[in-house]
Structure 1
Amino acid sequence: MSTQIQVKSPKTMAFILMLGAFLGLFGETALNMALSNIMEQFSVTAATAQWLTTGYLLVLAILVPVSALLMKWFTTRQLVIGGLIISLFGAILAALNFNFTILMLGRVVQAIGTGLLLPVMLSVMLLIFPIQKRGVVMGLMGLVITLAPALGPTLSGVIISTLSWPYIFWFSAIAYVLLILVAVAKIANVSEISKPKIDLSSILLSTIGFGGLIFALSTMAEVAITSPKVWAPLLVGIIALILFGIRQNNMAQPMVNLRVFKYPMFTLGTLTMFLGILIILSTGILLPMYLKGALLLSAAMAGLILLPGNAVNFVLSPIVGALFDKVGARRFTIVGFILVLIGNIVFVATISSETPAWQVVVAFMILFFGLTLVMMPAQTNAMNQLPRELYADGSAAMNTLNQVAGAAGTAIAITVFTSGQSSYVTDFPNASQPEILAAGIKYAFYFTTGISVVGLIGSFFVKKPSEVTEKTPAVVKSTEPVRQ
């Protein structure tokens, strides 16, 4: 039985959803190039300014699990148009930036809008296109998920150098206005409204769990893990997430149906996406710091150096999507993680305060060549194993962990970077600031190299969902889908 739902303008709907998600994901890293400018303008420390990125990811991680519930209470039109309007309001607040508090508030509001759009995009795209076109569609979605945060530093670098950093948000606001006008005319309702009971305990546990976890990871960049400021929210977050999981499994209509993780290829695909996002967001904050602080390049030049890697992703994503059914997820992810590992090794081997720019370009291109081969096949293979009634739950679970990965990647990368700098200063007390910064960046790439090895090992266990279903029918039978 086909899961496709007929709508008048599926391609236009796809464009609206993907561009809306692109703008939101672009916002995750768009300010990375501008943090030094913002620190100077508002007289805040690096740790405080970093919350403009981490806070954005924190809100997404808290809101996305709730989205599975929202998709059962509100229509597709209400969620998409509402998400775009909220994002527009947040972009305008951030662009006005009367003070740091208003800028932070604008980031939070924009993250709320993005948190509504991301899960809706994945769920709707699986419903409005036939399964034979799913590879191409998911290829384009993979392009959005990987290109947007990676392109953030590139585009913002050019904007900062030619205009000023608030124009990052003014341009986003204009795009949101145009999208809202098109969405009002073209977005159709495809979700099934069942209005399940709202469980406030689940929402509270989810918020405390993901909020505590990300807050602790982000704070590790400033203080030691032995500090109560780190371990207390970490412990509370872990306990809350355990209680959240127990409660979901004991509910007739859970907020997020965690039974999606009984499908082995969905679990492995989600883990693969998690590792990929971890690497993307880590490099998204490390490389701008390195290019500007160690190689002493302008924001525009730093952005242009990252452009070829983004171009590789842009060109390859649709091709990977078109070839997905022929090549399969296993081959793509194995080759992809081998390239990701090579890219990270090149960074570790070459990073210094005197590295030629072309070496950074080549390493970044190799890295994103591999990530392009990994992300879409992993996501498509994961979602393909789920029945239609679990799309919303699978989408919410996957997107939640993606945001956790983004926040964790940013926080851990900065923590390892800081540790690497301290270690280098101890060994070389007379080193220059660019040398110290480069040493910290190089140290952080050991972390992403380790993540690449884990991803490569996992890729050898990837199979087609049909093969898993045939071999492990008990897993499928044990799942009790909840009506959307």
Structure 2
Amino acid sequence: MMAVMLIGAFVGLLNETLLATALPSIMNDFGIEENQVQWLTTAFLLTNGVMIPISAFLIEKFTTRQLFLTALTIFATGTAIASVSHAFELLLVARVIQAAGSGIMLPLMMTVMLRIFPVEKRGAAMGMAGVVISFAPAIGPTLSGWLLEYFSWRGLFYVVLPIVIIAIIVASKFVKNVTEQTNPKIDIISILLSSFGFGGLLYGFSSISGGHGGSEASSGINGQAVAIVIAAAIILTIFIIRQLKIAKPMLEFRVFKYPIFSLSLIITMIVLMALIGAETMLPLYMQNTRGFTALESGLMLLPGAIVMGIMSPITGMLFDKFGAKWLATIGMTIVTVTTFLFTSLEMDTAYSYLVIIYAIRMFGLSLVMMPVMTAGLNQLPEEWHPHGTAMANTMQQVSASIGTAILITTMTTSASNYEPNASSLEGLSETEAMTQIAANASISGYNAAFWLATILSLAGLCLTLFIKNKSKPQQEKSEQLAQ
């Protein structure tokens, strides 16, 4: 049962980044611009961000089996439509359908893990979830880069579809009902507030720097996106107030009454911002500034993704034995040091240097991600697990968007404010001088963004010192707090 749920969540998360290197060929096929094709990624992330908060309600409303099979079927339908799309609009609709299924699978899988594994074995189980959460999005660009060498972009969907169909067949046989149905009533107002609030926040932050790091990234801060973020924040505030007042909230915000859960969520958000920093900045640096191909930049990230995939289950077992505190502290120390090492990128920085430092950095992240999240979720009473996993996954989506926006804005601002050293341009023709200034400005921007990521990592390191190692959730205390 867990194997098929892991596969479902894996293909769902893989599709977040699978189209990354295929966007140029899709642009050529449909004759569209970069700002249009980017919606294939943005719409997927937005729909995911809308579905994840609703997942807590769905898990309490429907059985495990009903929900998982439905989510897989929706995802398969979207994948099938995408594979035969003859128009960009149809492909965009297919991506939204895919994400509607994908957004349910990960929170459901984590809730099931918390339900069927005892506290002392949860680390190993959540370590397997860590493989999915970290490895799937990381391998997406590399896998698509390799497939595009031999097939068209439709081949990306042809590869995924049979896997999903097999998963549906296996799931229909092995997935059992393990979650409890409390049959909550549908609160349309909460669903609308959540959708516009979280959706607006994700869209606003993904657009705030004037693009996604492509050709538009130099246009500065997007005023319209800032307005959307402010409006979304107001809508979310209304949503939170409503959830605290109604008897059966769609998303339970009282999970933040547990200090360890709140602390673990903040650390996880900082870790994701730092993770996104490297995964966004390094491919841009390699392709836009250094002239590497998409496949070469994807292969640079591959060893790090493999390290993360291998380490996640090992880290889970270490968590069961030693707890989260020292794993997280050691991991964040590694992340902070390796992020700092990326603050001195040059035009001739060795490819091997990027590969090795990135892989070591991912090793550090593997020690932090799942142990910290599991330690936080372990503090919650069982009936709040769907809300805890939904909250954790929602905050991950939001922090990834915010992290990308802040780092891209820092990069573009620093690059535009770059002042060249006149003495280094002596003897160069005007064209050569302009090329060198542009390259140096770009390098300056990437280094500034990594300085900010280093500061974020250092803040996360300080917070890990406050984690408490507890082997069992304090059920009685949590029940008192809930009343």
TM-score > 0.5, shorter chain as reference: yes
**Alpha-carbon shift at residue 468 of structure 1 (Å):** 9.1
Alpha-carbon distance in structure 1 between the residues aligned to 2:470 and 2:241:
27
Match for residue 481 of structure 2 among 475, 478, 483: 478
Q: Which residue of 1 aligns with 2:464?
A: 459
On the 8 A contact 2:204/2:225 being kept in 1, the answer is yes
On the 8 A contact 1:32/1:285 being kept in 2, the answer is no
Matched, 1:342 2:337: yes
Q: Show the 5 A alignment for 1:287-366.
A: 287-349=282-344, 351-366=345-360
Q: Which residue of 1 aligns with 2:452?
A: 447
Closer, same or farther: CA 341–240 of 1 in aligned 2, 3 Å: same
Alpha-carbon distance in structure 1 between the residues aligned to 2:37 and 2:104:
25
Q: Show the 5 A alignment for 1:250-265.
A: 250-265=245-260
Q: Deviation string for 1:27-80 (max 9, x for gaps)?
A: 222222233333444444433333322322211111111111111111111111
Gaps of 5+ in 2: 211-218, 423-432
Matched, 1:108 2:96: yes
Closer, same or farther: CA 254–465 of 1 in aligned 2, 3 Å: farther
Once the two structures are overlaid, the 10-residue window that deviates more, 63-72 or 96-105, is 96-105
Q: Which residue of 1 aligns with 2:434?
A: 430
Alpha-carbon distance in structure 2 between the residues aligned to 1:209 and 1:382:
25
Q: Which residue of 2 aligns with 1:209?
A: 197
**Alpha-carbon shift at residue 177 of structure 1 (Å):** 1.1
Q: Which residue of 2 aligns with 1:8?
A: none
Closer, same or farther: CA 466–325 of 1 in aligned 2, 3 Å: closer
Alpha-carbon distance in structure 2 between the residues aligned to 1:381 and 1:268:
10
Specify the SS of the correspondent of 2:62: coil
Q: Deviation string for 1:357-406 (max 9, x for gaps)?
A: 00100111121011100001111101111111111111111111111122
Q: Which residue of 1 aligns with 2:403?
A: 409
Alpha-carbon distance in structure 2 between the residues aligned to 1:423 and 1:49:
29
Matched, 1:155 2:143: yes
Alpha-carbon distance in structure 2 between the residues aligned to 1:317 and 1:459:
18
Specify the SS of the correspondent of 1:32: coil
**Alpha-carbon shift at residue 467 of structure 1 (Å):** 9.1
Q: Which residue of 1 aligns with 2:213?
A: none
**Alpha-carbon shift at residue 163 of structure 1 (Å):** 2.5
Once the two structures are overlaid, the 10-residue window that deviates more, 37-46 or 107-116, is 37-46
Q: Which residue of 1 aligns with 2:430?
A: none
Alpha-carbon distance in structure 1 between the residues aligned to 2:342 and 2:421:
22
Alpha-carbon distance in structure 1 between the residues aligned to 2:121 and 2:473:
22
Alpha-carbon distance in structure 1 between the residues aligned to 2:11 and 2:419:
39
Gaps of 5+ in 1: 1-12
On the 8 A contact 2:208/2:226 being kept in 1, the answer is no
Cα RMSD (Å) of the superposition? 2.4
Specify the SS of the correspondent of 1:72: helix
Q: Which residue of 2 aligns with 1:4?
A: none
Closer, same or farther: CA 41–452 of 1 in aligned 2, 3 Å: farther
**Alpha-carbon shift at residue 261 of structure 1 (Å):** 0.8
Alpha-carbon distance in structure 1 between the residues aligned to 2:442 and 2:94:
31
Query: For residue 463 of structure 2, what is the amino acid of its counterpart?
Result: G
Count of aligned positions? 464
On the 8 A contact 2:381/2:479 being kept in 1, the answer is no
Closer, same or farther: CA 54–414 of 1 in aligned 2, 3 Å: farther
Matched, 1:421 2:429: no
**Alpha-carbon shift at residue 442 of structure 1 (Å):** 3.0
Alpha-carbon distance in structure 2 between the residues aligned to 1:359 and 1:371:
18
Alpha-carbon distance in structure 2 between the residues aligned to 1:446 and 1:57:
27
On the 8 A contact 1:150/1:280 being kept in 2, the answer is no
Alpha-carbon distance in structure 1 between the residues aligned to 2:472 and 2:43:
41
Alpha-carbon distance in structure 1 between the residues aligned to 2:409 and 2:448:
10
Q: Which residue of 2 aligns with 1:87?
A: 75
Q: Which residue of 1 aligns with 2:392?
A: 398
On the 8 A contact 1:417/1:444 being kept in 2, the answer is yes
On the 8 A contact 1:424/1:439 being kept in 2, the answer is yes
Matched, 1:240 2:235: yes
**Alpha-carbon shift at residue 458 of structure 1 (Å):** 1.2
Alpha-carbon distance in structure 1 between the residues aligned to 2:74 and 2:420:
48
Once the two structures are overlaid, the 10-residue window that deviates more, 59-68 or 433-442, is 433-442
Alpha-carbon distance in structure 2 between the residues aligned to 1:466 and 1:403:
28
Identity %: 38
Closer, same or farther: CA 203–282 of 1 in aligned 2, 3 Å: same
On the 8 A contact 1:210/1:241 being kept in 2, the answer is yes
Closer, same or farther: CA 337–105 of 1 in aligned 2, 3 Å: same
Q: Deviation string for 1:397-437 (max 9, x for gaps)?
A: 11111111223233333333333433348889713565554
Match for residue 63 of structure 1 among 51, 57, 75: 51
Alpha-carbon distance in structure 1 between the residues aligned to 2:386 and 2:143:
32
On the 8 A contact 2:76/2:164 being kept in 1, the answer is yes
- TM value normalised by structure 1: 0.89
Q: Deviation string for 1:333-354 (max 9, x for gaps)?
A: 11111111112111112x2332
Q: Which residue of 1 aligns with 2:276?
A: 281
Alpha-carbon distance in structure 2 between the residues aligned to 1:437 and 1:45:
23
Once the two structures are overlaid, the 10-residue window that deviates more, 361-370 or 46-55, is 46-55
Q: Which residue of 1 aligns with 2:216?
A: none
Specify the SS of the correspondent of 2:180: coil
Q: Show the 5 A alignment for 1:47-62.
A: 47-62=35-50
On the 8 A contact 2:69/2:168 being kept in 1, the answer is yes
- TM value normalised by structure 2: 0.90
Q: Deviation string for 1:156-195 (max 9, x for gaps)?
A: 2212223333322221112111111111111111122221
Specify the SS of the correspondent of 1:256: coil
Closer, same or farther: CA 469–267 of 1 in aligned 2, 3 Å: same
Closer, same or farther: CA 162–419 of 1 in aligned 2, 3 Å: farther
Alpha-carbon distance in structure 2 between the residues aligned to 1:39 and 1:335:
44
**Alpha-carbon shift at residue 446 of structure 1 (Å):** 2.6
